[in-house]
Amino acid sequence: MSNLLEIHNLSVTYGLNGWRVLAVRDLGLTLGEGEKLAIVGESGAGKSTIANTIMGLLGNGAEIQGEIYFKGSQVKQETVSELRGKEIVLIPQNVFNSINPVFSIGEQMEDLQNEANVAPEQRQGRILELLRRVRLPRPESIPDSFSHQLSGGMKQRVLLAMGLSQSPSLIIADEPTKGLDPIRRMGILNLLQQLVKQNRQSLMLITHDIKAAAFLCDTITLIYKGEMMERLPAAHLYENSMHPYSKALMAAAPERGLQVPSQINSEFNHSPVTGCSYAAYCQLFRNSCLEQRPALRQVAPGHWVRCDAVA
Ligand SMILES: Nc1ncnc2c1ncn2[C@@H]1O[C@H](COP(=O)(O)OP(=O)(O)OP(=O)(O)O)[C@@H](O)[C@H]1O
Ligand code: SF4
Ligand SMILES: [Mg+2]
Residue 231 lies in a domain: no
Residue 150 lies in a domain: yes
Same domain, 305 and 185: no
Q: How far is the CA of 279 from the centre of ligand 2 (A)?
A: 6
Same domain, 90 and 158: yes
Q: Check whether 98 has a pLDDT greater than 90.
A: no
Of 299, 307, 310, which is best to mutate to test ligand 2, by the most ligand atoms within 8 angstroms of its C-beta? 307
Q: How far is the CA of 46 from the centre of ligand 3 (A)?
A: 7
**HEC letters along the chain:** CCEEEEEEEEEEEEEECCEEEEEEEEEEEEEECCCEEEEECCCCCCHHHHHHHHHCCCCCCEEEEEEEEECCEECCCCCHHHCECCCEEEECCCHHHCCCCCCCHHHHHHHHHHHCCCCHHHHHHHHHHHHHHCCCCCHHHCCCCCHHHCCHHHHHHHHHHHHHHHCCCEEEEECCCCCCCHHHHHHHHHHHHHHHHHCCCEEEEEECCHHHHHHHCCEEEEEECCEEEEEEEHHHHHHHCCCHHHHHHHHCCHHHCCCCCCCCCCCCCCCCCCCCCCHHHCCCCCHHHHCCCCCCEEEECCEEECCCCCC
Same domain, 188 and 259: no
Atom of ligand 2 nearest to the CA of 310: 6
Residue 259 confidence (pLDDT): 57
Residue 47 lies in a domain: yes
Q: How far is the CA of 129 from the centre of ligand 1 (A)?
A: 36
Residue 275 CA: distances (Å) to CA of 5, 154, 271:
30, 45, 9
Question: What pLDDT band is residue 181 in, cutting at 50, 70 and 90?
Answer: confident
Same domain, 153 and 255: no
Same domain, 213 and 270: no
Q: Check whether 292 has a pLDDT greater than 90.
A: yes
Instruction: Choose one of 225, 254, 276: the last residue of a domain.
Output: 225
Q: How far is the CA of 208 from the centre of ligand 1 (A)?
A: 14
Q: How far is the CA of 228 from the centre of ligand 2 (A)?
A: 13
Atom of ligand 2 nearest to the CA of 244: 5
Residue 280 belongs to what domain range? Answer: 242-310
Strands 19-32 and 202-207: unpaired
Nearest CA, atom 12, ligand 1: 23
Give per-residue pLDDT as tens, 23-57. Answer: 999 999 999 999 999 999 999 999 999 999 999 99
Question: What pLDDT band is residue 95 in, cutting at 50, 70 and 90?
Answer: confident
Nearest CA, atom 5, ligand 2: 307
Residue 279 lies in a domain: yes
Give per-residue pLDDT as tens, 232-253. Answer: 999 999 999 999 999 988 887 5
Q: State whether the beta carbon of 49 lies less than 6 angstroms from ligand 1.
A: yes
Same domain, 132 and 255: no
Same domain, 255 and 207: no
Same domain, 20 and 148: yes
CATH number of domain containing 155: 3.40.50.300
Q: What total of structural domains would you count in the chain?
A: 2
Same domain, 142 and 73: yes
Ligand that comes closest to the CA of residue 45: 1
Q: State whether the beta carbon of 93 lies less than 6 angstroms from ligand 1.
A: yes
Q: How far is the CA of 225 from the centre of ligand 1 (A)?
A: 10
Residue 235 lies in a domain: no
Q: Report, as an integer, the average pLDDT of 71-92.
A: 92
Residue 247: how many CB atoms within 10 A of its CB? 15
Taking the C-alpha atoms of residue 286 and residue 279, their distance in angstroms, rounded to an integer, is 8
Q: Evaluate whether 73 touches 114 at the Cβ level (below 8 Å).
A: no
Instruction: Choose one of 165, 192, 225: the last residue of a domain.
Output: 225
Instruction: Choose one of 161, 193, 225: the last residue of a domain.
Output: 225
Same domain, 12 and 114: yes
Same domain, 219 and 253: no
Residue 233 lies in a domain: no
Same domain, 151 and 30: yes
